[in-house]
A and B are shown apart, each in its own frame.
Chain A
């Protein structure tokens, strides 16, 4: 009797555990149909691995990927860690290799840390496409580059020139003083100004350190030191949002133009209240869409990632592989009052 009751308890615990396992595994029939089916004889199972799940930016890009995979008749899956750390991505790369998917589309949390895992997946004949954040070029087959530095610099200068009428003083609110990409963009913007807009004068570059409050204060200081200022460019999403917040409550609202790189969700209210006319970024949905088509082209053997290879990417048209096995999405996307409500990231 003693034994019986204890055994009953043990069995209860066991049954509960098994039930949990069964519940967990229940969905696998629908989820792992990826294996080897898909198109003709190529493996068109494509897995998207973003930096982390629950991030609106990647939700948008991966929705684009899912749309593309559906168009070419493959199977789409999205996996990922909840926190954006490189080592947590490794187990998902390993899982994709075990499942034998055709291609893995990944945004790397670290350019080196996931390299070995990617190499192992490639030796299990999984094609690797990176998007948004690249790894070391040796570790992947193709990188989908969201925007070129030249494109980013040019679109912001074009936007500000249009908004201030082609002449006057402008300033730049950047991230930190030693941010490599920001400095490269600023340099290219100066070249673009000198070449195409000699009447626009860049009076100062200030650094908000990608901190909301610092960027806010720097914006206020800029407007005090340069009363003639007609426009501000902020090539960082934190900076542009903070600057917009300052402008929207100041007397300069509407008279000082603001543009730069921002996300629709952060900028929506300032576009609607007239503080900001237009700003730029790439379209993450297109980025995911292109990455999925690139994965398909690799999986079918249509391209190998050599420079000069070309492939079709559905509604986006034809693309060519550039140097370092990278593909450029195109010119940055301009968001304004007319289209901002189509985006949620």
Chain B
């Protein structure tokens, strides 16, 4: 009712008070849902309130959280990287092979991150220089990198890693149930959030996602920007591969198989539009935690993995449908306003409603 009293020339995003624009968003909906899931689980699921739950949950979602950061940036520019989990597997195998060959662990880890970076660069090259669609490119490299990883190590596993590093990967911040990897994640998340939301580079990503021709004409080097994102995604995936290896003390070619879908699902659930140009990191983080918490609570409640998959899938569909539904309602509403304004102009008096 208040909106109709506003002056005629209002910009759509500012047609509502600031608090409402801040609070009534996809991101806050996901955060509220996360809080609800946590509360409901605390009340109804036995043992959910134990500190072990927090530790295990955060440990397990850490690789997903890490990779979700660059994935958000990529999806915002209306591209996608399906090869991330294969890069995790490849980096894991590289870490294992080099550590087994006697290289000091930090060097092996560094090499694995480098391999991840190169893999990301390869994706970026095919997408930006050759000009192929990222969906096709990364479906190809998903198979390619996974194939190399399994080929390098066969069906065997390398399980002997320096205890110092494996303990560090599993260690908690002293006095809390929170794994130390979360410190690193918090720093990375902060950097990514600042870059995405408060720098010209970040704004250019939204511009590319909304309209890449317009972005190019505004002086943004679209190809170079996208190339950087794929390299970044490869590097973070490589690092996640090292972490994954240490967490499970295990380097295998099939590590993190299928994780790309979990990551993309969480990013979309977090309110990032698959069509680009829309999304925020706090929503994505809440999305990852929501899926993780839901899985953890349901497992604790003794629900089988099939049912958990069904519920996660339904949740994702519901979130996508609700976005489309909202967009459709808004469009209808705008059309209605337009028609009414047209009548208003003719009659020069406000129409009753």
Contacts and interface: CB of A to CB of B under 8 A. Distances in A.
Do A and B share a complex? Answer: yes
Interface of A: 1-3, 5-7, 9-10, 12-14, 16-18, 20-25, 27-28, 31-32, 35, 53, 77, 79-83, 85-87, 90-92, 94-95, 97-100, 110, 112-113, 115-116, 124
Contact of B307 (A24, A80, A92, A97): A24
B14 to A, nearest CB: 12
Contacts of B322: 9-10, 12-13, 16
Interface of B: 1, 3-4, 15-16, 20, 24, 29, 32-33, 36-37, 40-41, 44-47, 50, 52-53, 56, 60, 157, 159, 166, 170, 244, 248-250, 252, 254-257, 294-309, 311, 314-315, 318-319, 322, 325-326, 329-330, 333
B50 A98 contact: yes
Contacts of B33: 14, 17-18
B298 A98 contact: no
A160 B170 CA distance: 53
A27 B29 CA distance: 26
A217 B11 CA distance: 76
A97 B59 CA distance: 15
A112 B157 contact: yes
B327 to A, nearest CB: 10
Given A1-B1, A17-B33, A31-B301, A82 B20 contact: no
B40 A25 contact: yes
A2 B56 contact: no
Given A32-B302, A97-B52, A25 B170 contact: no
A215 B322 CA distance: 55
A3 B166 CA distance: 51
B250 A85 contact: no
B36 A28 contact: no
B39 to A, nearest CB: 10
B250 A24 contact: no
Contact of A24 (B20, B60, B311): B311
9 contacts: A3-B3, A6-B326, A13-B319, A20-B314, A22-B40, A27-B302, A28-B44, A82-B305, A112-B159
B298 to A, nearest CB: 5
A1 B24 contact: no
Contact of A113 (B32, B157, B295): B157
Contacts of B315: 17, 20
B314 A32 contact: no
Given A14-B32, A82-B306, A91 B299 contact: yes
A148 B282 CA distance: 56
Given A86-B248, A97-B52, A3 B24 contact: yes
A115 B301 contact: no
A117 to B, nearest CB: 8
Contacts of A115: 159, 249
A110 B47 contact: no
Contacts of B294: 21, 24
Contacts of B257: 83, 85
B155 to A, nearest CB: 10
Contacts of B44: 25, 28
A53 B303 CA distance: 13
B298 A25 contact: yes
B47 A99 contact: yes
